[in-house]
Chains A and B, each alone.
Chain A
Amino acid sequence: MWPLIQIELLKIFRKPRTYISFGAIAIMVIIIQIALKFDGKSYIEFIVGSLQDSLDIPYTNILNGYFVCFIILNLLLIHIPLLIALVAGDSIAGEANMGTLRLIASKPVSRTGLLLAKFVAAVIYTALLLIWLAFISLLLSILIFGTNDILVARNDALEIIRSSDVMWRYLLAFAYATLALTTVAALAFLLSVFAENSIGPIVSTISIVIVFTILSEMQIPLYDRTVKPFLFTSHMLAWKGFFYCKIDAGGTAIPGTIENIRAIGKSGLILFVYIIGFVSTAIFVFNKKDILS
């Protein structure tokens, strides 16, 4: 299996489009960092709104590497599925488009093994993209802005987490983000099985993610009760749950705690089920498929 995965990784990383994702992430992150470096106070003022009239806001301390990384993840993790779909959507449809799929399928390797190797390669690509994002958004931000406690803005509350209590949350958040984006990769992978060129699965994946994200965030009770709990996009945001602390009876945040670990676990499980479902369906369809290209 590993030689197959290596071959697939080689295919991925020999394509120039693969590096578009890494370059795009670097450019977007650096643009955000520059903006916050020179005008971060305005952004914080926008977040705290009228609270600046009643609270003494320590802008300089708030604008630190942990805070900047959180903002970057907030902004980018919604858009990174596009970059994931670029590669995962191309993995099978791209081969079909080039006419190499039939050739590969004729090799003494099971179709299931072939597909799993392609999927594992897509997952490795996703993980590398996240590691790159972590490096550039967290470590570079720490180098530029330093470290301090992190201010986390929620819809109806502000949380402060001590700097000594932050890094493990980021590790778990990035690990979870890898799972979330693997779900997108699995979806693109499934759609790729049905297509003869990569544009279709890439655009379809992005369209589905956009529609689901809108449904997840519209906050219309009808959808909130019926559809939202089952959309994978609702559960992709669970990485933020690692930054929500439990509070004691007096309302004080308890360091080292997570507000609702069960909910995060449930979200992770739902994403895992989606991944299994997408990949199993892709294997089933691919095994039944009459490959003509």
Chain B
Amino acid sequence: MIVKSYLLICLLLFNQTEFIRAQEPAVLMKQIGVKLEKISDYEADAHFKTEISFLKVPDADVKIYYKKPDKIKIKNENGISLVPKETTSISLYSLVKSPYQSLDAGRDTVQGIPVRIIKLLPSDENSELVLATLYIDERRLLVLKAKTTTRESGTNEVELYYGKFISTGLPDKIIFSFNTQDFKLPKGVTFDYDDGTAKKKPVEPGKSQRGKIEIVYLSYSINKGLSDSVFR
């Protein structure tokens, strides 16, 4: 559920030089919403790294497509990548545009940078999202981290790193972490070869483990127009 969050967050990051220290949370979020509006779509080349205990996959070069309000697609055009659905199931843009209550939750430090913590509580009690926490660099108006708690997937987290694309407000790198389950092949599908390699300890029933996705952006093509067919 996390990656869409980054996208919105990316949108948030739009170049704004105003200094908005100690603003009301609602005002700060409104400015972020305005910034998110500025990116209608983008296509990005990226390097994709997966760290999930039951997946043994090499790193991949992928294309990432985003279209407002909440369409995200990660495609490996030269091979196969198994992308956690969590990465494309939540849109911060949708979040910011939907009714919510914003609360000031204090201050902290992320990536060595002082941040303001804003909690968003959806007004719709039937919303899939239960709670979102944004860690915002007020000086640069960048969201450096977001935690989302949903009914289905538990708590997911995305951390955004900025560098050469900061002028566009989009991150150079994002890291998502999320809950995963264990994998067990159905009996009878295969006779596995026991090569003597130490087997990983199975996760206790009911307990989850964390998976991680790292995306390093190589280039962006912003607001060029994207067909909906890309997301099918």
Binding site for B on A (CB under 8 A): 46-47, 49-51, 53-58, 61-62, 74, 78, 148-149, 151, 153-163, 213, 216-217, 228, 234, 237-241, 244-245, 247, 250-255, 259-260, 263-264
**B77 CB to nearest chain A CB (Å):** 10
Pick the contact of B186 from A47, A55, A61, A254 — CB < 8 Å? A47
Residue of A nearest to B86 (CB): A54
B interface residue count range (under 10 / 10 to 19 / 20 to 34 / 35 or more): 35 or more
**Is B192's beta carbon under 8 Å from chain A?**
yes
Segment at the A interface, from B10-18, B195-203, B219-227 = B195-203
Query: Looking at chain A's contact residues, is the secondary structure mostly helix, strand, loop, or mixed?
Result: mixed
Bitwise, B65-96 to A at CB < 8 A (1) or not (0) is 00000000010100111111110100000000
Contact present for A160 and B82 (CB under 8 Å): yes
CA distance A244 to B195 in the complex (A): 10
CA distance A56 to B200 in the complex (A): 24
Contact present for A158 and B54 (CB under 8 Å): yes
**B3 CB to nearest chain A CB (Å):** 11
Contact present for A55 and B85 (CB under 8 Å): yes
Pick the contact of B190 from A155, A216, A245 — CB < 8 Å? A155
Contact present for A58 and B80 (CB under 8 Å): yes
CA distance A250 to B94 in the complex (A): 33
**A253 CB to nearest chain B CB (Å):** 4
Pick the contact of B56 from A53, A57, A62, A251 — CB < 8 Å? A251
CA distance A54 to B86 in the complex (A): 7
Pick the contact of B195 from A78, A254, A260 — CB < 8 Å? A260
**Is B24's beta carbon under 8 Å from chain A?**
no
Residue of B nearest to A224 (CB): B194
Contact present for B56 and A253 (CB under 8 Å): yes
Q: Which residues of A contact B53 (CB under 8 A)?
A: 251
> Within residues 51 to 71 of chain B, which ones have a CB less than 8 A from any CB in chain A?
51-59
Can you give 25 contacting A-B residue pairs, CB < 8 Å? A46-B189, A47-B185, A55-B83, A56-B74, A58-B82, A151-B80, A154-B192, A156-B200, A157-B54, A159-B57, A160-B56, A160-B57, A160-B58, A213-B191, A228-B194, A237-B192, A237-B193, A241-B193, A244-B193, A244-B195, A250-B49, A251-B50, A251-B52, A260-B195, A263-B196
Contact (A56, B88) CB under 8 Å given A46-B189, A61-B79: yes
Q: Which residues of A contact B59 (CB under 8 A)?
A: 252
Pick the contact of A259 from B85, B86, B197 — CB < 8 Å? B197
Segment at the A interface, from B37-45, B117-125, B138-146, B176-184 = B176-184
**B180 CB to nearest chain A CB (Å):** 7
CA distance A253 to B185 in the complex (A): 19
**A79 CB to nearest chain B CB (Å):** 12
Q: Which residues of B contact A234 (CB under 8 A)?
A: 194
Contact present for B192 and A55 (CB under 8 Å): no
Q: Which residues of B contact A244 (CB under 8 A)?
A: 193, 195, 197
7 nearest CB pairs, A to B? A263-B195, A149-B79, A260-B195, A237-B193, A160-B57, A149-B80, A240-B193
Residue of A nearest to B153 (CB): A54
Residue of B nearest to A216 (CB): B191
Contact (A253, B195) CB under 8 Å given A149-B79, A149-B80: no
Residue of A nearest to B82 (CB): A55
CA distance A159 to B81 in the complex (A): 11
Q: Which residues of B contact A250 (CB under 8 A)?
A: 49, 51
CA distance A40 to B97 in the complex (A): 41
Contact (A56, B84) CB under 8 Å given A154-B185, A245-B56: yes
CA distance A227 to B134 in the complex (A): 58
**B183 CB to nearest chain A CB (Å):** 6
Residue of B nearest to A261 (CB): B195
CA distance A50 to B184 in the complex (A): 10
**B100 CB to nearest chain A CB (Å):** 26
| Residue from B50, B79, B181 with most neighbouring chain A CB atoms (10 Å) | B79
Contact (A158, B82) CB under 8 Å given A251-B51, A252-B51, A255-B58: yes
